[in-house]
Structure 1
C-alpha cells in the first residue's frame, strides 16, 4: 500500500460507521486524519482511538449542510496542517432517513437529502478545491451508493441524491484534472454498520445478502481499502470513475 506519511486527509462523517473506518485506514497508512463530524463526542472518540493506536489525528466539528461552516473547517485544516491532500466526502443523511413511496416522501425529508447528500458534498469540494489547486495536487473521493443501480422502492430521495453525487464527481473530474486533482466516487452496497441496521428494512437486508454473488453482507473494512486506493499513486491516472463495492449485486457496464 502507498505510504501517506506527510499527507493530510479530511474525512467527513468520520465519527462512526464507514467514515470511522476510513479515518482509521488513512491514519494507519501514515496520514494525519481530520476526523470531521457534526457529533463532537463521536469525532473525539475516533480521534482518541487513532492517537492511542500510534496515528495522528485531530477533530473538526461542523455541519456539512452549512456552506460557511465547511469553508471555515477546511481553512482551519490548511492553517493548522499546511495542506489538504485527500478529501473523503462520506457524511450523508442515512441513519435517519425514512423509506416511503414517492408521493408520500415528506418535503422536509426530500430537502434534507438535498441539503446534506448533494449540497454538503459540493460545499466541501468547493472549500477544498482552491487549496488543492494552489498545491497542484489533490484527491477527492465522494461517497455515492450502489442504490443508484438497484433502484430500491421507497428510497427515491436517497438514491436520487447519490446519483447526483456521481454527476458531480464526473463534472469536477473534467474541471480539475488539469490542476493535478483527481475526483472519483465509491458506491458501497449493503454494509454492516449501526446506521444500516437502523435505516434499512430487514427484508431489504435479507434480499441484499441473498442476491450477492459473494454471499454475505459487506463490512466497512471492505470499502476503506478501495477509497485508500483511489488516493494512492496507483490510481494517479484514474479520475471520474465510480467503483462499486457491493459483493457483486450490481454490475454496471
Structure 2
C-alpha cells in the first residue's frame, strides 16, 4: 500500500525536490504524493516535470491548490484531499515566505514584512496542521514535519551566528541588512510550535519534527544568487533529508530540530 504524503509549497525549491526524492526512493514503499501549490497551473507543470525526471517511479502525484495564508483555501484543500484519501501518513509543512529583502527594497512596510512573514510561516502553518490533523492521526505510522532554518537557533545566534559580517556601525538609521531578521524570528516561533504539536499528538502515535535543511540555493526571498555566492548547496539536499524523515530513518529525533548531520540547537 502506498504511503500518503502531503507537501505544501511543493511546486518549487525544497518542496519540489522533496517530491523528486520521494519518487526516487520508492522501491520498497511507493508514495501517493499530494503536491500542494497556490497555482494549479504551476503545480501541474511541476508534476509533469517530476514524472519526466523520474520515469521509473512506482509513485503517483495528485496536485491540489492551497494558500496557507487563507483559511478558506486551507478548508477547500482539506475537502478536496479528504475526498481522495481517508488518511495521510506524512504532512510536510514546507510553504514559506521570506520578505526581509522586499522590505529593505522599500516594497512593503516593516509591519507588513513582519505580519506577512508570520502569517505564512507560523499562523498559516499552524492552521494547516490543525485542519489536516484528523487525517494525520488516522495513519498507523504518522509523521508531521515543519521546515525550519539554521537561522532559527537562538543558541547559535547568541554566539554571533551571522550571515555576512557582524554589524559595527553606530548611530541611526542603520544600513546593515545582512541578517534576515523577521524570517529568523518566524522560524524560532515555528520550532516552538513544533514542540507543541509534538506533545499534543504524541499520544496518537504521531512523530513530529522540525527539519533544518541547511543553507541551500533556493529562490526564497529572491536571494538565490547571494546564497550561491556564499556556498549554498543544491535544494535536492533538503529533499533527500526530508525523504529520510518521511521514511522513518530519523524517528529517534522526533521532537527535535533535525539536520543532515544530527540535531540543531534550539
TM-score, length of structure 2 as denominator length? 0.78
Compute the displacement of 1:100 (Å). 4.1
The 1:42/1:94 distance shift into structure 2, 3 A limit, reads farther
Instruction: Tell me the equivalent position of 1:223.
Output: 238
Instruction: Tell me the equivalent position of 1:174.
Output: 199
Instruction: Tell me the equivalent position of 1:40.
Output: 40
Instruction: Tell me the equivalent position of 1:190.
Output: 215
Q: Does structure 1 conserve the Cα–Cα contact (< 8 Å) formed by 2:90 and 2:136?
A: no
Asked if 1:19 corresponds to 2:15, the answer is: yes
SS at match of 1:120: helix
Compute the displacement of 1:151 (Å). 5.1
Compute the displacement of 1:128 (Å). 1.6
Q: Which ranges in structure 1 are unaligned for 5 or more consecutive residues?
A: 210-216
Instruction: Tell me the equivalent position of 1:8.
Output: 4
Q: Does structure 2 conserve the Cα–Cα contact (< 8 Å) formed by 1:36 and 1:60?
A: yes
Q: Does structure 2 conserve the Cα–Cα contact (< 8 Å) formed by 1:17 and 1:193?
A: yes
Instruction: Tell me the equivalent position of 1:213.
Output: none
The number of equivalent residue pairs is: 235
Distance of 1:66 and 1:200 partners within structure 2: 27
SS at match of 2:102: coil
Distance of 1:168 and 1:151 partners within structure 2: 24
Q: Does structure 1 conserve the Cα–Cα contact (< 8 Å) formed by 2:86 and 2:135?
A: no
Asked if 1:119 corresponds to 2:143, the answer is: no
Distance of 1:84 and 1:48 partners within structure 2: 23
Distance of 2:129 and 2:234 partners within structure 1: 26
Compute the displacement of 1:242 (Å). 0.6
SS at match of 1:234: coil
Larger Rg: 2
Distance of 1:127 and 1:162 partners within structure 2: 21
The 1:116/1:251 distance shift into structure 2, 3 A limit, reads closer
